[in-house]
Amino acid sequence: MRVFSTFFRIIWKNKKSIILYLGIFAGLSLVFGAMAGDSTKQAYEESNVSIAVIDRDQTQASEALYAYLEEIHTVEVVEDNEDAKLDAFFDMEVIGIIEIESGFEDGLYQNNMEGKIIAYNSPVGTGNTFVSMQAQEYANSLNSYLKMGYDMEEAIQKTEENLALESKVGFISEDAGKEYSQYYYYYLYLTYAIVSISIFALCPVFIRFREKNLKDRMDCAALPSGKRSGALAAGAITFGAGLFLLVVVMSIVAYHNIDGFFESLGYYALNLFVNLLVTIGIALLLSNFIQSTNILSVFANIIGLGLSFISGVFVPQELLSESVLSVAKCFPTYWYVDIVNKIQETSGNLVLHDISMGLLIQLLYAVALFALSLVTTKYKKA
């Protein structure tokens, strides 16, 4: 009983980190949940914005760049003075201003474009970043054709032909662009929070109980090592069950009045439970290789963010390339996200068979992690 209570006293000492990641998770869920009506496809489409373009070079090259930007965006007329620029931003007439400096065309010929295109963003928007990139891309293309021996007129023609082939985002999934519910984002981002919280909560406990001085004292006590291990296992199970119930209850409180939620809740909860076993296994294995809790945040961020980015948590799986997805399938988080996507896409008409492979793969990862942790523990004892 003393080992069990000590288990949770150590976790309580790390409550700030646990609360921090719960807060990050809650913030992500609220922000992206509020955007639930926007489709993935719409979020990644190019948009026409209002900008101002000031041409101080007045050459063939600068006029071609002006015409290109005018073709793909709405170009407003703004006088070339500071007051007019500030007024345009204040009145929200433009989201950015592109200035083509004197010497722009000469810079193309001399292969020196530094400071020739200057971009200013509105204080309340960042959309001009894309416009700046488009202007720079046009200039780089011109520069490349000029270095290949084309004259300016030919370089402009080749550049416009090249940029006319608009780069479009290729969606791997046929369901790309589908609208997602608020609780979809909740359970999607939950895996990031669960990994980080498990590492911050469980690793300090396992590290503490493996310290040589404490271990030697416990070996001299009357409590057998088997019972100590059992108490630690009971603590980990209790913590996992508590965390599982907490996040599921939070989702019920937040989304109980949304159509389709309860039809999908059982599948979301089952997927979460299996993923939680994986994260506990990660924390257990990681604790075998860390001697100090001071570097836990480094590993928590590397593992949590790394798995989330490559597996489709922060970047939708339908936007990832085939090569990235092939690598992502080697990680359990990919299969968690894949199941979350399937639950949403079927709108409550899912059957267990549809997600059985993903659940089985996650369970196999959990078993492998626990087994590897036991092997490394015994190796260190030897």
pLDDT of residue 254: 84
What was the pLDDT predicted at 22? Answer: 79
Q: Assign 151 to helix, strand or coil.
A: coil
Burial of residue 309 (number of CB atoms within 10 Å: 0-12, 13-18, 19+): middle
Return the pLDDT at 170: 46
pLDDT of residue 1: 60
List of the chain residues with pLDDT < 70: 1, 3, 29-47, 122-129, 165-179, 211-229, 347-348, 380-382
Alpha helices in the chain (DSSP H): 2-13, 15-34, 40-43, 60-72, 82-90, 104-110, 128-147, 152-164, 182-209, 212-220, 225-255, 261-287, 296-311, 322-328, 332-346, 352-381
Q: What is the pLDDT of residues 88-109, one digit of tens each?
A: 888 888 888 999 999 999 999 9
pLDDT of residue 167: 46
Q: Determine the pLDDT at residue 314.
A: 82
Indicate where the chain has its CATH 3.40.1710.10 domain(s).
46-164
| Residue 107 DSSP SS3 | helix
39 neighbors 177 (Cβ within 8 angstroms): yes
DSSP 227-261: HHHHHHHHHHHHHHHHHHHHHHHHHHHHHTTSTTH
Of 14, 82, 85, 98, nearest to 49 by C-alpha is 98
In the prediction, which pLDDT does 226 show? 60
How far is CA 373 from its chain centroid? 28
CATH architecture entry for 46-164: 3-Layer(aba) Sandwich (3.40)
CA-based end-to-end distance of the chain: 28
pLDDT at 223: 56
Q: What pLDDT sits at residue 63?
A: 94
Q: pLDDT tens, 252-277? A: 988 888 888 888 899 999 999 999 99
Q: What pTM does this model have?
A: 0.62
Q: Strand 96-100 and strand 50-55: pairing?
A: parallel
Rounded to an integer, what distance in angstroms lies between the CA atom of residue 256 and that of residue 260? 9
Residues 6+ apart with CB under 8 A from 138: 65, 68, 69, 159, 163
* pLDDT at residue 34 in the model: 58
**Residue 224 pLDDT:** 61
How would you classify the pairing of strands 96-100 and 74-76? unpaired
The whole-number pLDDT of residue 169 equals 42
